[in-house]
Amino acid sequence: MRNFTASRVETLTPSGIRKVNERALAMERAGERIIHFEIGRPDFDTPEYIKRAAVKSLEEGEVFYTSNFGLMELREAVAGKLKRENGITCAAENVIVTTGLSEAVFDLLCTILNEGDELLVPDPVWLNYLNVPALLGARAVPYSLTEENGFEPDLDEIQKNISPRTKAIVIVTPNNPTGGVLSREKLSALAGIAAANDLLVISDEIYERLVYDGARPVSIASLPGMAERTVTLNGFSKAYSMTGWRIGYAAAPKEIVAAMNKIHQHNTTCAPSFAQRAAIAALREERDEVALMVREYQRRRDYAVAEINGMEGVSCLPPKGSFYIFINVKKLGISCAEAANYLLAEAKIALVPGGVFGKNGEGYLRMSFANSLKNIAEGCERMKKALKELAANKK
């Protein structure tokens, strides 16, 4: 029998995050107690008022398709949020609701990239920004985020990487996996580069609410002249602990939204109706739930950073945003993949090798502190012991 799989599927790299997760789950099924630091999933429950809105929607029979673009009420609420909180000039017609941020990324890149086009992406970066261009026959061109630069981009490198085929530049702030947050000054410089080279900017802001030490994230679309050349991507998974609800959105010039909808129509038709109602409640009824969550994340971050920087052979910068710590393991003398495998096998803690996020992720491990402080404390103690044993075995 012939191979029925399309050759373009071979361009996709399987998720390195899920690979670690599947191995950890298999070990749990075999009776091991694993501490999970690999998945970017809040460990808090979805706020009760959001769940009540979904239940009410279901009980009232809202179980049918909505507009492909999403409920007008939700699109208006998102536009209002972007104006009020992000300073982005926006109306409902500039918003499309998607089945999570992942679908928004897929739909957008399918909309803007022709075969042979180039897309500037941070390195390291979430894998979707590498895989989807490859699937489309386009090319993701990396620009470096390094610890030496505080995980901020080098503007000269970005300028050098621009070619006649460059269509857009991706920025992710707060960043996954580094936890970096771009300053207004850096974003202004990036905006200047985009305008001078007539590039579209794709701004992934899914972690915008998860920031620490008084950091104030800036939306590049709020800067002068940028609303017409920026697509802002966001959603409800991280801030409201709604990863399983699959609600995201894109805010963009209306012609891009209309074009994205052509892909969206054939992809998922519409986001779940009752989940859209829940998202409306999230935007309208939030009180202090997110702030309390962020306060707890900061407590966990501070503890984990102090513990890691006291361990043998590893170090980290305190992340300014997201719920990830990017741990430098270069002094261990083994690859990040070997370090992750060793810590999972010996310490029973699951971390993601930084290499899955790109070349500049080599030598790092990504640790999610979206876990209880108790588990973080135990995981750090296990890591410290395992690293001591690793160092002793090398002597």
Q: What distances in angstroms separate CA 375 from CA 33, 133, 316, one per listed residue?
A: 11, 37, 19
| 162 pLDDT more than 70 | yes
214-222: average pLDDT: 93
More confident residue, 97 or 40: 97
The three-state secondary structure class of 201 is strand
Average pLDDT along the chain: 96
**Helix, strand, coil: what percent of the chain each, to 5?**
50, 15, 35
- Binned at pLDDT 50, 70 and 90, residue 35 comes out as very high
The mean-pLDDT minimum among 20-24, 143-147, 328-332 falls in 20-24
133-157: average pLDDT: 96
What is the total residue count of the chain?
395
137-142: average pLDDT: 97
- In the chain, CATH 3.90.1150.10 covers 7-45+289-390
285-306: average pLDDT: 97
pLDDT value, residue 215? 87
User: Residue 229 in contact with residue 200, Cβ under 8 Å?
Assistant: yes
The mean-pLDDT minimum among 3-12, 243-252, 286-295, 362-371 falls in 3-12
User: Residue 235 in contact with residue 282, Cβ under 8 Å?
Assistant: no
- Binned at pLDDT 50, 70 and 90, residue 8 comes out as confident
Residue 86, burial from CB neighbour count under 10 angstroms (0-12, 13-18, 19+): buried
| 101 pLDDT more than 90 | yes
b/e code 9-34 from CB counts within 10 Å (16+ = b)? eeeeeebbbeebbebbeebeeeeeeb
Amino acid letter, residue 65: Y
- Binned at pLDDT 50, 70 and 90, residue 12 comes out as confident
322: nearest Cα among 144, 181, 218: 181
- Rg (C-alpha) for the chain, rounded Å, is 21
In angstroms, how far apart are the furthest CA atoms of the chain?
A: 68
| 395 pLDDT more than 70 | no
CA distance 195 to 203: 15
The mean-pLDDT minimum among 9-23, 162-176, 184-198 falls in 9-23
317-335: average pLDDT: 97
The domain 7-45+289-390: what is its CATH number?
A: 3.90.1150.10
- Binned at pLDDT 50, 70 and 90, residue 13 comes out as confident
| 7 pLDDT more than 90 | no
**Residue 204: in which H helix or E strand, if any?**
strand 200-204
The domain 48-285: what is its CATH number?
A: 3.40.640.10
- In the chain, CATH 3.40.640.10 covers 48-285
